[in-house]
Amino acid sequence: MRIAIAGGHGKIALLTAGLLTRRGDEVLALTRNLEHAAEIEAAGATAVEADLETMDAAALAAVIQGSDAVIFAAGAGPNSGIPRKDAVDRGGAVLLADAASQAGIRRYLLVSSMGVESVRGGATPEGVGEVFVAYLRAKLAAEDDLRARDLDWTVLRPGSLTDDPAAGTVQLSPDAPRGAVPRADVAAVLVALLDEPRSAGTVLQLIGGPTPVAEAVQAAVLAGSA
C-alpha cells in the first residue's frame, strides 16, 4: 500500500511509518518543515513538504495522488493557542478530507481524542482549561465533518498518550473508559485498522488493555456489525 500521513514528523506518525515501511508499504510523510526530513527518512518514509495551514485542497490532492489511504495524525502541539487548535486539528483534517476526495482516495483514518463528546453541543466540561476545550472542540468538529462524507473513514480516539514501549495489547471499543495508552500501541492499532476494511464507518476509543492488537481490532469490528 501507499499511505500518506499528515503530521508526518509527529511521534505517532513516525511510529506508524516505521511499522508500515518495515513490512514493505510506501509512506508519504506530510510535513510543513523539511528540516525534519532526516528523522522521517530514518523511519523509512518519504518526507513531503505540505503545510496544511496554507495550501489548498487541490495542491494537497496533487501531493497525495496515487495513495491508497490517508491518515490524519497532525496536531497543533501542546504549546499552541486556540486559533491554531482550530486551524490544524479541525481545518487540517477537513483539508485532508477534501484533498482525498479530489484525489479519489476513499480510505481515511483520523486520529482524534478521547473526551470529545464532553464538548458536544457547546458544553464546557468543568475543570478543563480553555485551550484544551478548544482542542476537543476542534477534534469533534473534524470527526463530525468526516463522518458526514462519502469516504471509508475510521475515527480512532486514544486516551492519554505515553511514550512507554509498546505493550502489544490494548482495549479498543466504541465506549472504552478513560485511560492511558502508549503511542507505539496507537501506531499498531492504526496499521491493523488499515488492514481491516470492515472497520470503515466506526468510531473507536483506545486505551491500554489485555487484548492483542489484532484480536482487539477484530472484536471491535464484529461488535460494530452486530
Question: For every residue of 39-105, which 3-state class applies, written as one string?
Answer: HHHHCCCEEEECCCCCCCHHHHHHHHCCCCEEEECCCCCCCCCHHHHHHHHHHHHHHHHHHHHHHCC
pLDDT band at 223 (very low <50, low <70, confident <90, very high): confident
Q: Which residue has the cell 464532553?
A: 118
Residues 127-160 have pLDDT tens digits of 899 999 999 999 999 999 999 999 999 999 999 9
Dist. CA 208–CA 175, nearest whole Å: 14
Are the CB atoms for 155 and 133 separated by under 8 Å? no
CA angle 140, 10, 189 (to 5 degrees): 65
Q: How much is the average pLDDT of 49-75?
A: 97
CATH match of 2-225 with 3.40.50.1360: no
Active site residue 108: no
Dist. CA 139–CA 133, nearest whole Å: 10
- Angle in degrees, 0-180, between the axes of helices 91-103 and 57-64, rounded to the nearest 10: 60
Q: How much is the average pLDDT of 63-87?
A: 92
pLDDT of residue 80: 84
Lowest mean pLDDT among 8-17, 22-31, 72-81, 123-132: 72-81
Radius of gyration of the chain (CA): 16
Helix H or strand E encompassing 117? none
| 8-state DSSP, 34 | G
* 72 strand-pairing partners: 6, 110
pLDDT of residue 224: 66
pLDDT of residue 226: 55
Q: What are phi and psi of 176, to 5 degrees?
A: -55, 140
Bridge pairing between strands 152-158 and 107-111: parallel
Per the prediction, the chain carries an average pLDDT of: 96
Q: Which of 72, 108, 135, 153 is catalytic?
A: 135
Are the CB atoms for 181 and 203 separated by under 8 Å? no
DSSP-assigned states of every residue in 163-193:
-PPP-SEEEEETTPPS-EEEHHHHHHHHHHH
